[in-house]
Structure 1
Amino acid sequence: MVRAYFQPGAELYMGSRDCLESAARVVEAARTGGVPVLHTRVSYGPGGVDGGLFFRKVAALRHFVADAGGDLGEIMPEVAPRPDELVLVKQYASAFFGTSLSATLAARRIDTLVICGVSTSGCVRATAVDAISHGYLPVVVRQAVGDRDPRPHHSSLFDLAAKYAEVYDEAETIDRLKGTPP
């Protein structure tokens, strides 16, 4: 959840902060419940050299080139990592692809991911599909994910719930993270 999606006028601007505010509540509940919080952000080397065809396909990714200047790739303050929380840098939609996420989860004996983020049809969906493919249980928090258009957002949530992930409401997720029985 980086500035590019929440800053009015930015090319990727979503037009709403609702999912960010929900994600902030979920992250705080995880921290309160002692559940590890991991973050991801996208960053590319000079000219997007490490972005491959994905970088060429999605022109807006140029905003995440490390030497491009600007702050659109910064994680929003509402969900910003604490000093003891891992931030994985990725170049593709899935938080698993080309990162140490699976090894990190396995080493900590974590078997479930609670996923918040944007976009539902992109990074959220790709991460959930890869999570289940790697043997993890992905839980997508309905109110804590968003997209720039409601059609792919709702379609992705439907598809995720049908095949790849559990889709929980924010309140249920917060109760579980805090250790309150459902």
Structure 2
Amino acid sequence: MTLRPILIHPDPRLKKVCAPVEAVTPEIGALAEDMLQTMYDAPGVGLAAPQVGVLQRLFVMDCVKEEGAARRPMVLINPEITWTSEETNTYEEGCLSIPDQYAEVTRPKRVRMAWTGLDGKRHEEEFDDLWAICAQHEFDHLNGKLFIDYLGPMKRQMITRRMEKLKRERARG
């Protein structure tokens, strides 16, 4: 198990459409485990493979936030959105690749996804509230889309400039 470095926007890898995972292999299992540990350590509720520099269609999430509640780590390989509700929800989103920046994004309140699990089987589940937001946010990453892409150009540029400054500061150490 390895904590992986999380890419910070702007990084060209975060804007690429990811390739499907060809097969559920031990390497994919190890990647998923690393991603879950990296996500919990950050801490976050979701993490997509491109955020750790792997351009494959896989993300992890666990939106259990209640103190003392059992974790529910999920690994979604080659996910697809099969249905979205007409009802929407506006939520203040953040992203581990855009640290300490938040903005309201409106998305469908409920979403159904199908994916392959680490067991190699197809799964399908309907998510709502924070789970639905997280699933859609991470799914966007697999298509090279960030939550700031839903914002107006001024706000997006302001956040991008902050991230460029953060990267310069980190590079100087």
| TM bin (shorter chain) | under 0.3
> Which structure dedicates a bigger proportion of its chain to strand?
2
TM-score (normalizing by structure 2): 0.25
TM-score (normalizing by structure 1): 0.24
> Which structure dedicates a bigger proportion of its chain to helix?
1
